[in-house]
Chains A and B, each alone.
Chain A
Amino acid sequence: QKEVEQDPGPLSVPEGAIVSLNCTYSNSAFQYFMWYRQYSRKGPELLMYTYSSGNKEDGRFTAQVDKSSKYISLFIRDSQPSDSATYLCAMRDSSASKIIFGSGTRLSIRP
């Protein structure tokens, strides 16, 4: 079993829809949770990061962490075609600098 599980998709939604992307994990020591966005032929770019449980909002993006369920989510409101990309969740514990990535979800926003 992988430490971090992420549905690979692809996920296709119409423009303006709310998108929900999720990851589950098995290591209860994970404390830092990140979401990266990767456009085709580019490196990943950091979108959001949260420490421990709770919500964090940044514009149209909201990240949620539920440590009791070992479940993290990224919500995208008012989705745009420019949001079409692969979204990777990532996490690490407080002692290790090694970051564990999910396999990524390919998202397509239809105009």
Chain B
Amino acid sequence: KAGVTQTPRYLIKTRGQQVTLSCSPISGHRSVSWYQQTPGQGLQFLFEYFSETQRNKGNFPGRFSGRQFSNSRSEMNVSTLELGDSALYLCASSLSPGQETQYFGPGTRLLVL
């Protein structure tokens, strides 16, 4: 069974631009969560989607948004990029929300210049 895939793997953007990251969950998994990982703050929860609905949201500004499609694939968007948005963005999938056995993708490393 294929794991969680994330595209692109690396991205360089400049301040003020916007970016869209994509996540394809494991086949059959319907819950997708997004995390931001930085050396200073560690892994921080962004949001979780299940059945195309956002179920939970972390403490991030409205510039961070996401959505989920009917095939469970998910995208997250960051608008008006700031230098502090440079991070590893991780996507995790599970069969349903709240499961401990969530599987992470390799992440998208975003650098904002």
Contacts and interface: CB of A to CB of B under 8 A. Distances in A.
Chain A complexes with chain B: yes
Contact of B97 (A36, A42, A97, A102): A97
B61 to A, nearest CB: 17
B25 to A, nearest CB: 13
B105 A96 contact: no
Interface string B35-70: 100000111110010000001101000000000000
Nearest to B44: A101
Contacts, number: 55
A98 B48 contact: yes
A96 B43 contact: no
A101 B102 contact: no
Contacts of B45: 98-101
B82 to A, nearest CB: 22
Q: Interface majority SS on B: helix, strand, loop or mixed?
A: strand
A103 B48 contact: no
Nearest to A50: B100
A92 interface: yes
How big is chain B's contact interface, by range? 20 to 34
A97 B42 contact: no
Interface string A37-50: 00001111110010
Contacts of A88: 42-43
B104 A96 contact: no
Contact of B42 (A32, A41, A103): A103
Interface in B80-111: 90, 92, 97-98, 100-107
B100 A43 contact: no
A34 B42 contact: no
A57 to B, nearest CB: 17
Q: Which among A43, A98, A99, A104 has the greatest number of chain B C-beta atoms within 10 A?
A: A43
Nearest to B91: A43
Contact of B100 (A34, A44, A45, A100): A34
Interface of B: 4, 31, 33, 35, 41-45, 48, 55-56, 58, 90, 92, 97-98, 100-107
